[in-house]
Amino acid sequence: MVTRRRASTSRPRGEEVIREVLAAAGERPAQTASQSAKIKYASRFADAMAQRLATDLDAALPGTEATAARRARSEKGNKQLDINFSTPALGLAVGISFKSVHIREQGAGYTHNLKRNEEELRIEASGYHRRQPYAVMIGVLFLPFDSCEATKPRSRYSSFGSWVRHLRPYTGRTGPQDDPDRFERIFIALYDPQGTDIRFFDVALPPPRLGPPPLTDDAPSRAITYEELLQEIHREFLKRNRLDFSWSDGETDPLGEEDTGPVS
């Protein structure tokens, strides 16, 4: 069933979003919980996050949907996307896919599902891009903040760092001529299980070996806020679907639009 919610009129705050999502996901499984319990938790978390993100994207991309149904057409039939923005003119314009590792595994940090999640992302990107090569595909992997500290035995970097290293080859698709199994952007969403914060790190940036990425505005390789993530997704859509003409004074005009204003 497609979930449509009225776009929020207030400025979204990451801590409010993650508290809302964690409340909807319910009790967090213990490390010793069954795999089934962990999968169900991840599904509830993803559903709640997709509904909220679709709501907040709707202001810039009207009609954005969060759906568990297989509605978007890929090369091999309908596939599931966590978030789908489509139009009659463009087809699938923006697709967002979620992956997650919520529970630390003893002796393995948060990297025990690294290969499986990477393969699933590549299959999804390839399936959509082969059928709809102009679609903008965004991947988001959710990890707790302590993944920035957790390491495997004898590892020189954190689980977070391992994920950045592993996913980087599959991001940075700039146009329909590029490899279809790459995403336009991939972010790692670092969140506090207590609901105090959520930040998003672009895997194209250099991460620290240990510890979280910087959160301050003046840091070059920082994790961005939830509001900035919304802006980055919209920016990727515009880059793919709108060409601008640049003037020497730094201003830009959409190509194809004639100037009808007075000469200054």
- Reported residue count of the chain is 264
Residue 105 contacts residue 126 (beta carbons within 8 Å):
no
E-state strands within the chain: 2-3, 65-67, 72-74, 77-79, 83-87, 91-100, 136-144, 185-191, 198-202, 244-246, 252-254
Give the Cα separation of 195 and 145 in Å (integer): 11
Exposed/middle/buried for 249, CB within 10 Å: 0-12, 13-18, 19+? exposed
pLDDT tens by residue, 119-159:
999 999 999 999 999 999 999 999 999 999 977 777 889 99
pLDDT tens by residue, 67-93:
654 454 444 544 568 999 998 888 899
**Which range (18-32, 153-167, 177-191) has the least confidence?**
153-167
Model confidence at 203, pLDDT cuts 50, 70, 90, reads very high
The angle, 0 to 180 degrees and rounded to 10, between the axes of the packed helices 226-241 and 14-25 is 100
What is the number of other CB atoms lying within 10 angstroms of the CB of residue 146? 17
Give the Cα separation of 158 and 163 in Å (integer): 9
Instruction: Indicate the pTM of the whole model.
Output: 0.86
DSSP annotation of 109:
B
Angular region, 129: left φ>0, alpha ψ -120 to 50, beta rest: alpha
Give the Cα separation of 81 and 14 in Å (integer): 22
Average confidence (pLDDT) over 176-191: 96
